Amino acid sequence: MATFFNAQVFTFTQPDDTKIQLRGWGDQHYAVFETLDGFTVTKNPTTGYYEVARLVADGSALEPAPGPGDRLDGVGAGLPRGLRVRQESAMAAARASAQRVSGRRCEQRRQERRQQMRAMRAMAAAGGPLLA
C-alpha cells in the first residue's frame, strides 16, 4: 500500500554533506519536491545534487536548470514556481516505479511460504532430511 505525503517537509543531504529542506507531495512511487519558497527540485543524475528544475521541451520530465550560482536559487535561474510534469507522464512514472518494486509485500510473503512448502515436500518425498 502506498504511503502518501502532502506538503511534508523532508531533510535531504547533498553530496557535500550539506543538509537541505524540501517540501514534498506524492508517495514512494512518484513524488515532487520543492524548495521551501516553491521552486521545483530534481536530483542531478550527473552530480548527485538536488537542484532547481525546469521542464524538458515536451513537458514530460524535469531536468536540472542551469543557474548563476546556488543550485537551489530558482529566482536567479529565472524559473517559475511550482513546475509540474504533464499528468500522463507523472502517472506513467508512478506505474513504472510500482512495477519495479516487484509486487506487494503480501505477495512476496505468499511466494516465500510456497517455496518453503515445496522444499519440505521434496525432502519428505526423498525420505526426510539427512542427519549426520
Query: Does the pLDDT of residue 1 top 70, yes or no?
Result: no
pTM of the model as a whole: 0.67
Query: Does the pLDDT of residue 15 top 80, yes or no?
Result: yes
Sequence-ordered list of residues with C-beta below 8 angstroms from that of 3, at least 6 positions apart, any chain: 27, 28
Predicted local confidence at residue 108, as pLDDT:
78
Predicted local confidence at residue 124, as pLDDT:
81
Q: Classify each residue of 26-49 as buried b or exposed e, where b means 16 or more C-beta atoms within 10 Å of its C-beta.
A: bbebbbbbbbeeebbbbbbeeeeb
Average pLDDT in the 27-38 region?
90
Q: Please tell me whether residue 9 adopts helix, strand or coil conformation.
A: strand
Question: Which tens digit of pLDDT belongs to each residue from 41-86?
Answer: 999 999 999 999 999 998 888 999 987 778 899 999 999 999 998 8
* C-alpha span between 27 and 93 (Å, rounded): 12
Q: Classify each residue of 59-70 as buried b or exposed e, where b means 16 or more C-beta atoms within 10 Å of its C-beta.
A: eeebebbebeee
* C-alpha span between 96 and 69 (Å, rounded): 34
**Domain spans of the chain, in order of start:** 5-121
The H or E element spanning position 127 is none
Question: Which tens digit of pLDDT belongs to each residue from 74-128?
Answer: 999 999 999 998 888 777 776 776 666 556 677 778 888 999 888 888 888 887 7
Predicted local confidence at residue 95, as pLDDT:
72
